[in-house]
Structure 1
Amino acid sequence: MIKDNQKRLNRLHILLDILVTSAAYALAWFIVVSGKVLPVDVGVLKPQIYFMALVFIVPVYLVLYASFHLYVPKRIQGRRSEFANICKANVIGLMIFTFVLFGARRFIQHNEYFSTRMLLAFFVSNIILMETERMCIRLFLRSLRTNGYNQKHVLLIGYSRAAEGFIDRVSVNPEWGYHVQGILDDHQKPGYAYRKVQVLGPTDHLETFLASNTLDEIAITLSIKEYANLEQIVAACEKSGVHTKFIPDYNNIIPTIPYMEDLQGLPVIHIRRVPLTGVFNATMKRIVDIVGALFGLIVFSPVMLLTAMLIKITSPGPVFFSQERIGLHNHPFKMYKFRSMEVQDPSKEKKQWTTPHDPRVTPVGHFIRKTSIDETPQFFNVLIGDMSLVGPRPERPLFVEKFKEEIPRYMIKHQVRPGLTGWAQVNGYRGDTSITKRIEHDLYYIENWSIGFDFKIMFLTVFKGFINKNAY
């Protein structure tokens, strides 16, 4: 059965991880300490002491690999997630290694030390070799499962969008090793097939079917209209002793990945996960915003001063321009910019997009819009809390009213503070681009927020976010 195969695979994983970690350590020693590749460090410890340390290093790293879910089935964990977990485990391992050596230095002679270059070489080589090992395992499993071996035999209960979605994903990912034996359903006729997976009969044949077949798993994929039968079907599945899972048919109602909260034993499904609703996450982001805004004002102050002078000299009117935008929790606020257009009637300005070769844009305004210099006064918006360094770009009230009727889930962007830059902007969705695509990227950011993600977006903004080819 596949459960036994998974246990064998995990044992093989652990054995390979021991060998790979030891090989990465030996490679780092050979490159840095032995002197055969790089000049040897003066005063390093004897080889016996280095390799005795493996007795402690290998078990610690195995515990870290298990802690970061590196022994879960490949069906569950994607390649990117696995690589990220390998990096996290090695970062923690390096920190533990460094901390232990720092504490043990009083027991080591002053003219001898553990090479720090070797530690860094081990860190890099272990990540590379571990990722290579797991890629090879994935390729091996893909070949094995594509050819019909080590498969998980699954029966679906209920023909629905959830059933189709499961079959679609299994079909394009043969390396997962799922073999869908068929579907039991009360409405589709026996023999009806979706992607070669046939309806075998009604759901009341479940017990008969279980008695005559060897299954690894049952997946309940009932249509949402048939949830009245759910309790009876779950009871029959549990009676069979076969592992059962539930794939809900509510993707059209809850279109994103929900998360569950335990309310004293009562499961509560949240329609959307928004990490920034947590106090700790919101506080951390606010600290980064304040420090980043102060840093931005200091760095850009010469550019801002020069821009203000040029605007004042070349065009009559104020240097700054404020415009009402919709922010956190649908609250309006004044967003500041350097004025890039001729002074105009506010009632007309509110209803117009900027168009290519717009005569209202001044020569200086054209340059500062292209280079995003006109946005730098928004560091003040960040400081006072109306905006964040990173988040969905805010829109004017008129267009918010328009888009919320036309674009599903548009208003969800207002569950977080708007930003100076965002995931949509660094992916090219600025100015006159698809609003729908922009919202898709904004929602991805809202649901997958982390401090690291914010820093990634700020880093990408430096290299491809300032110059805006869609700015007029």
Structure 2
Amino acid sequence: MNNIDAPHRFSREAVQRLERPADNKPSPDLNAVAKQVASQYRRDTMSPVMVSGVLRLVEFSLLFLSGVTIYVAYLGFFTYLAWEYTLITAGISLLTVALLDISDLYQVPALMRPLQSFTRILLVWSASFALMAVAAFLLKTSGTFSRLLFGLWYVAGFVLIFGLRLYMARLIRRWARDGHMERRAVIVGGGKAAEQLIRSVEQQAYNDIRICGIFDDRDDTRSPPIVAGYPKLGTISELIQFARIARIDMLIVSLPITAEARVLQLLKTLWVLPVDIRLSAHSSELKFRPRSYSYIGSVPMLDIFDKPINDWDSVAKRIFDIVLSIIGIIVLSPVMLATAIAIKLDSKGPVLFRQKRHGFNNEVIEVYKFRSMYVEQSDPTAKKTVTRNDPRVTRVGRFIRKTSIDELPQFFNALFGSLSLVGPRPHAIAAQSHNLLYNEVVDGYFARHRVKPGVTGWAQINGWRGEMDTNEKIRKRTEYDLYYIENWSLLFDLKILFLTPIRLFNTENAY
């Protein structure tokens, strides 16, 4: 047996070093069963991470407000040591939530079994009060505060928090039963290994994993059409199309780690999807340190790729987009109004131009721009790239394209949610270079779509904007976009937004 300290990860660079497979042909259509299964999972689900995060906030608020209410009922409204009682109440409430978290009492199995967690919850709540009492004793202030008041809060707080958890257990079970809260997984690879994995996952009590099906390139003689009651829905290339339709959270590769070439070849195909990719270590002879694994119940998994900008990060980014989009629309409204008037005076036709582009997970979205071309010569598909002195572009259009004013209506896209303020720039669905689609030029091009596209991006402020007339330009833009995805943070977004108006003065590639 091997005993390995470091987590086993396949880097994106290792995946990309493999020879490009002959997969430029359109993906085959899904069979009827796969289409039916995919249609059942079109709806988004609630993330268990988000649910437990919201519960933390609710429990803190419930404990704090119950303590303040008892203070007001017992001593009156802010009559005696008001700030001291308020700070102590907030401190105990926060400490309790932190101790519950450390004790794994916000994990889904614990939330679904509150009766089994009764003792631990009581111990955590008691420990918070004990620590408060020790602090008050050391500070020689214990005689200043009402023991009856804190005794009442101790009883009321525990009743409230345990009652909430009984209610949440029923709610989570109902959400899980109805498919509103679950992690949807697809097994990659069939046969005995997949069967053992599925049996192990299903044996986990209160499991939030829903297995949606199996995909395997091997024929039915080597990989049965049904494994542990789950159908084989298609090949690996068909899995890409399946995951574009269904809202899948996780791909679990059930191939042995020792088959590295085969695993890398699969990852080369699958890493473009916005999902978590895990390699099952259930039946592996390689033994890693426990910290190297993540677990589904007690089934060990090696984390290969994580879905970028997920859970609370996505909430923070969406709030960021809404707030700054509203500010941008208000501040730039005079410029947008003047541009609309200039377009109307310069040429006939509508002020806005709508173009279909690839969005998150390759979904087709409609992006707004100020019209910069003559109506009769406009190219909604962007099959022909705009070049220097392009006769299709109007006089006003040349100015607003060079200054990127034509992109300002996309603040409304960001506000409504089809775009983010910062992200990989969305390209038109038929955009080409030398009669090749961009995804035929760049290996892994669609990995740009693992996050929501943006009004501006890291590639643009580094000079890769405007005409994409060479394959190298497309590769460089993709390289910068992938760097942004892998290194995202709100501070990174702020940096890009701050630099965008400065870098717009460089109009060399903007026509």
TM-score class, shorter-chain normalisation, is 0.3 to 0.5
TM-score (norm 1): 0.45
Q: Which has the larger radius of gyration?
A: 1
Going by fraction, where is helix more abundant, 1 or 2?
1
TM-score (norm 2): 0.41
